[in-house]
Structure 1
Amino acid sequence: MDQSILKPIVEATYLTTENAWRYRAILRYFYEQHEKMRQYLFPEEVFAHLKEYEPFRDYTLEMLTSDLEQLVKWKNLIARQETGKVRTIEEFKKKRFRYQCSPYTVEIERMVNSLEKMGDSFGGSLEKTLFDRLYESIKKVFELIKQSKLQMTSDEECYRMWEDIFDYFKKIIQNSADYIAYLNSENIEERMMTEAFLAYKDALTKYLRDFIISLQKTSLQIELLLEDMTPNMVQPFVTKVVHYKQNIPRLEDIAQTTDDLIKDHFETWWSLKEWFLGRNGNESELSMLQNKTNETIRRMTRFAQRLGERHHNFRSRKKDYLHLAEWFSRMDDVKDAHKLSATVFGVFHTKHLFADIKSTEDIYRDIWEEAPTELTIKPRVRHYREKTKPSALQDHKLEKEMMMNQYLQEKEKEQEMIRQYMNGNKIVFRELPTIDANIRKTLLSWLGKAMANKDYTAKIETGKKIKVKKVDDSTITLRSEDGVLQMPNFEIHFT
């Protein structure tokens, strides 16, 4: 991690300190004059500007001098002593200064100015032409490399093409992210609930669909170009871009070497490729942008549908009922009137309709074409119980005896195998050969049961008493049919 990230930005202190309103007004004036190509300002003209506003009515030149000195300490201003037009020794002793805002201050004020214009809502846009311009810029580089014309192209032209590519790329990322966030913000969702949204729904949907069409049309061409441009192909182009940047005259020393700059530019290029193509099989940011845009269209359509239904519910049904009344009055047969009533208002005498598993997935199949389902209705009585037939008790004594005998035989066999591993009245884990998995489980269960007690003793299934002893602090290997276990050097003694 770069150590500069961990350091506080002193230049931003003036934004939140106690007298921030004075410092901000001073630096805003410096920034505005900087944008007009006026680099140096005298305290008198700053003071004259501030006195034009009501909050600075009681502001004095001494207070301004103190504020300017503080801003110099925070590195927001650069002070330079004016010695060119000194008329008296007294003026020279007073150290008449003129001030220039620092580069950090210019960028901070530029950012704050844009934040003030943005307001509380997100900006951004979905410009469909940005993808076309990005494609043309990448295609131009690809053709230069493919046609071996890169050596004849100047470093400046390569640098300009690099800047064009990543200017368009940054605009796509920033504008699309801001606009999607704008559409998903809480204020916009509240406005989508109002009737006024219906007037803008069609224009907004068309805007998003045009962007999706342009994205689908152009992004595939960009992806094909990026897949064809291997690192070996891009290497000479990146080298020329770095060479041009290094040849720009700068007074300060550049800490980064040529290899570091080439590496940084390659990482920037890979970020472009990963945005379009994805990384390690994961979904690309382009696909996520497309999915979010489609989801936004669906969401707006749902809002519009709900508003339409709400508007429809408040509409008068008087004409509909009059039309139905005339329809009923023209019928001569009451059965036809019943059928019309069932069609319009539903069936009156049936409370529930139940059908078993559908026999077909045909959505046009009517309910009366399905086979009937028979249901047995049980009485809703508290003491109702279903009748059951008494069954005879079955004697499983023989099966139990057989299972018991089989269990005892297995235990006897297991004890016989354990006796084979005993050395006198103890079992030494270090001396054990490869043992059966069941024997391993039994020995370890004995070990765990004994170690659970303070005196390391336990009573096992056979009624015998065992004691566990740790020989030393070494580690031994216990081998069994189902694996190898590293364990302390234990012994089990039968007492």
Structure 2
Amino acid sequence: MKSSPKFGERSSASPPQPFAYLQAPNAALYGRVLDVFAEARERFIVHLRPEDVAAELRSKVDGTPVPVEAVGGALDQLVDWGNLRADPDTGRVTSVEDFHRARFLYQLTRHGQAALQAVAVYDEALGRRGQLQSVALADIAEQLAALLALAQEKDPDPAKAHLALLALADRFGSLADNAQAFMASLRRTIDFQDGDEEAFLAYKDRLVEYIERFIADLANRGAQIADLLTRLNAAGVDRLLLAAAQREAGDAVPEAGADGQEAERARLAASQAALTAWENRWRGLTDWFLSRSSRQPSQAKLLRGAAVSAITSLVNTVATLNERRGGRSDRSADFRALARFFAQAPDDDAAHRLWRAAFALTPARHLTVDAETEAAWQDADLPGTTPWAQAPPLEISPRLRETGSYERRGRPTRVADRSAARQMLAEQVEREAAQTAAARARLATGGPVLLSDLAGADGLDPHAFRLFLAVLGDALSARVPGENESSAITGDGTMEVRLKLVDPDTVVRIPTADGVLSGPEHVIEIIDLVSESSTGGSGPISLRSLTPRVTADAAGRASR
């Protein structure tokens, strides 16, 4: 025959319901009681008595006393839901009567603690606006440098590797979560989902400056972090991940009743699970800063693009608000307001005056003022409130008074002949197009060649060198970190360049009329798509449309 549970114990037949207090009639009191237990746990206090909970509640609610009976009822209900556990309080027993009296110590259960953490995370996610953490980028780079130093050691310390990986995972997780929350809150701000236009206009300049500063830090630190990740993968980061996983598995609690072999299998399983988790974290970190291919860019690159788009959206939003505040109104609203004015007019004469004023039926005079009249008005220096009758007279032509129109005397202005200027512009366009076609023909390799053999003995002329910098910048910017080959088509679609790194230690020099370009040896192939197109391609273009897009690597190696 089943025995009913004792007072202070929850029935094992009923499953725990740690979130039931959120929808209970007295949810506010239950929440405050659980907050008292959560704060006590942070002070490393595990057990609380009902009078302790009542005292904490009294100190939190403006000194208003909370009855101990109400607190006791709330504690018993939380025990029934599984949030708390009640243990007999035998520390204050002084007699047999006290022993039989129901006295309990209460503490949070695993279910209650998990429910509190879940509610806290939910509230934090709703209220968090996020931030772009430039300091986190520096911390990540510092931790990666420390890991690289450990990976290069013959026998790295597992404790140092584990602590460095923990710090790296914590900082990276904070960076990713805050960046995601910030971009989401920024989108709500731009779309005015928060409904606060005044606040948006007040801090828009600081917001744009903040985003621009983060974009610059992300570009600089991102390149450093990408280089450290590449070197760590080459140095063997798997050893550090395995050491951290084994160190975590060594702290696992042994199962009850397990023999030596079962304990060893459990330890190996825990080590494998920890290793899988660390490999997954490392893959996430790598994908955040390293692009897998041109179709799978890194998350840092996507974040930079989203931040740049956010700046553009902010500017457009500010322009929209300025137009909205610039006096533009709805025509239908104006007519409705005018109809109310007519309805409120005291008599017909007032309505007629309103009609003439609203629709500008009063005759207007378009006058031509000569130099003498304008000088007289400037010398008078009259305020804007001066009546017309007291202002200096304005002399007008009798012809204007009689006919309502005025014609200036003298010959009409001659139409300028711009045929010579147009001819000069056409010749300049043809000349630049010929220079571009010649530079394109000069750079076309007809097959793969070494970068050192591209210039030849005579070097490159300024036009060919400028075009070469443009196509080289396109090829270098299209290269994925960790790969040695890249290809790109210029923005105008006239040339295709293919680049392959030969030896990063061999430095070649290309002499030009403007200076010397130095860099590592590559195999390069430049294809003139215009000459190979059967339809004639897109035709020649002007050199002014070829903006040299030299990457940081190429610009740093160029010298005059």
TM-score (norm 1): 0.55
Conserved 8 A contact 2:190-2:313: no
Query: Does 1:205 find its partner at 2:208?
Result: yes
Tell me the equivalent position of 1:266.
Answer: 279
How far has the Cα of 1:163 moved from its partner? Answer: 1.0
Identity of aligned residues (%): 24
Cα deviation per residue 1:470-492 (whole Å; 9 max; x = unaligned)? xxxxxxxxxxxxxxxxxxxxxxx
Q: Secondary structure at the match of 2:48?
A: coil
Name the aligned partner's letter for residue 287 of structure 1: K
CA change 1:290–1:194 in 2 (3 A) is same
Count matched residues. Answer: 324
How far has the Cα of 1:182 moved from its partner? Answer: 1.1
Tell me the equivalent position of 1:297.
Answer: 311
Matches within 5 A, 1:3-18: 10-18=17-25
Tell me the equivalent position of 1:277.
Answer: 290
Distance 1:83 1:193 in 2: 58
Which of 126, 132, 141 aligns to 2:138? It is: 132
Query: Does 1:20 find its partner at 2:27?
Result: yes
Which of 168, 173, 194 aligns to 1:170? It is: 173
Distance 1:212 1:226 in 2: 20
Conserved 8 A contact 2:248-2:271: no
Distance 2:298 2:229 in 1: 13
Distance 1:131 1:68 in 2: 46
Conserved 8 A contact 1:192-1:300: no
How far has the Cα of 1:307 moved from its partner? Answer: 3.6
Cα deviation per residue 1:283-337 (whole Å; 9 max; x = unaligned)? 33222211211111111111223344455668xxxxxxxxxx9996449983999
CA change 1:230–1:302 in 2 (3 A) is same
How far has the Cα of 1:208 moved from its partner? Answer: 0.3
Distance 2:23 2:73 in 1: 18
Which of 218, 227, 234 aligns to 2:221? It is: 218
Cα deviation per residue 1:236-285 (whole Å; 9 max; x = unaligned)? 10121122223337476778432222122112211221222355742332
Conserved 8 A contact 1:242-1:262: yes
Give me the CA root mean square deviation: 4.2
How far has the Cα of 1:14 moved from its partner? Answer: 2.2
Distance 1:106 1:48 in 2: 22
CA change 1:187–1:310 in 2 (3 A) is closer
Q: Where do 5+ consecutive residues of structure 2 fail to align?
A: 1-14, 257-265, 329-365, 375-405, 414-424, 427-560
Distance 1:165 1:58 in 2: 46
Distance 2:412 2:41 in 1: 86
How far has the Cα of 1:129 moved from its partner? Answer: 1.8
Which of 240, 245, 248 aligns to 2:243? It is: 240
Conserved 8 A contact 1:328-1:337: no
Distance 2:149 2:317 in 1: 47
Distance 1:70 1:140 in 2: 52
Distance 1:337 1:223 in 2: 73
Tell me the equivalent position of 2:302.
Answer: 288
CA change 1:213–1:15 in 2 (3 A) is same
Tell me the equivalent position of 2:89.
Answer: 82
Query: Does 1:148 find its partner at 2:153?
Result: yes
Cα deviation per residue 1:416-444 (whole Å; 9 max; x = unaligned)? xxxxxxxxxxxxxxxxxxxxxxxxxxxxx
Cα deviation per residue 1:66-113 (whole Å; 9 max; x = unaligned)? 432332243321322222331111222234210111345345435545
How far has the Cα of 1:131 moved from its partner? Answer: 1.1
Matches within 5 A, 1:309-348: 309=323, 329-330=370-371, 334=408
Q: Could you tell which deviates more after superposition, 238-247 or 133-142?
A: 238-247
Distance 1:213 1:326 in 2: 57
Name the aligned partner's letter for residue 24 of structure 2: T
How far has the Cα of 1:209 moved from its partner? Answer: 0.1
Conserved 8 A contact 2:189-2:200: no
CA change 1:336–1:295 in 2 (3 A) is farther
How far has the Cα of 1:55 moved from its partner? Answer: 13
Cα deviation per residue 1:164-198 (whole Å; 9 max; x = unaligned)? 11111111111111111111115872679846644
How far has the Cα of 1:205 moved from its partner? Answer: 0.8
CA change 1:219–1:51 in 2 (3 A) is closer
Q: Where do 5+ consecutive residues of structure 1 fail to align?
A: 1-7, 315-324, 340-360, 363-495
Conserved 8 A contact 1:40-1:98: yes
How far has the Cα of 1:231 moved from its partner? Answer: 8.2
Q: Secondary structure at the match of 2:87?
A: strand
